[in-house]
Amino acid sequence: MARTLVFAGEITWPLEDGKQAAKVNLAASIVYASALHIEKVYSSVVTDEVIALPMAGAKFVLLQATTNDITVKLNASTDAITLKANTGFVLIFGDGVITALKVSTGTVPATLKGMAFA
């Protein structure tokens, strides 16, 4: 059954000191058929551990690191996204092309939480 995920928000910041703040609309809506809850607890250091997404390509991925920092790579990319523990999250809109996450930890224990929607 198809469902709709809606993400709403905006970010505002001044482009130059003393100037009018710029607003960027972050609203998005996607139709998805499946969702995957991600919660991995690492008690030992891992490098590029693959989390295969059991879906035909995620459209939207939300990730957060708790406990300690974690780095994540998408699919076969060598570019890493560092998730700082307990300081926020990362949202990735992939338009159905995200098929795997590669996770690396430094300090353990480390916990990765998130959701993937396809």
Q: What is the pLDDT of residue 1?
A: 81
Q: Is the model's pLDDT at 17 over the cut of 90?
A: no
Q: Are 71 and 103 in contact (CB under 8 A)?
A: yes
Query: For the whole model, what pTM was predicted?
Result: 0.83
The string of DSSP letters for 19-83 reads SPEEEEE--EEEEES-EEEEEEEESS--SSEEEE-SSS-EEEEEEEEESS-EEEEETT----EEE
Q: What is the pLDDT of residue 7?
A: 85
What is the CATH architecture assignment of 34-117? Sandwich (2.60)
Pairing mode of beta strands 28-32, 110-117: unpaired
- pLDDT tens digit string along 57-112? 899 999 999 999 999 999 999 999 999 999 988 988 878 899 999 999 999 999 99
Q: How far apart are CA 53 and CA 13, in angstroms?
A: 35
